[in-house]
Amino acid sequence: MYIDIATDFLVRDSDIVGIFDLDNTTTAGRHTMNFLNEKQKQGKVEYLIKDIPKSFVVMKSGQVYVVELNSQILKKRLEVKG
């Protein structure tokens, strides 16, 4: 099944490793910031935003999508699909 993580942007739910809240994870520690910085250097961060980023989705491929949707909304979409 697929989940809409941004306006008209679908990903396969089985390819999602995790959904993370930007406010909580980036203020929580350097490990998250190091992870995101490394992915940025690798060109694996894609910003699917027009407004303020709220969360990011990590895929099995290593791709990271930064999105406007709250992590709780994305998790609920996963639960509805599953």
Average pLDDT for consecutive 10-residue bins of the chain (82 residues)? 92 95 75 91 96 95 96 90 57
Cα distance between residue 27 and residue 62, in whole Å: 22
pLDDT of residue 81: 59
pTM, full prediction: 0.90
Q: How far is CA 81 from CA 19, 53, 60, 66, in A?
A: 15, 24, 19, 21
What is the domain count for the chain?
Answer: 1
What's the domain range around 25?
2-81
pLDDT of residue 30: 82
pLDDT of residue 22: 87
The 8 Å CB, 24+ separation contacts for 73-77 are 74/3, 74/5, 74/19, 75/19, 77/3, 77/4
pLDDT of residue 26: 62
What's at 18, amino acid-wise?
G
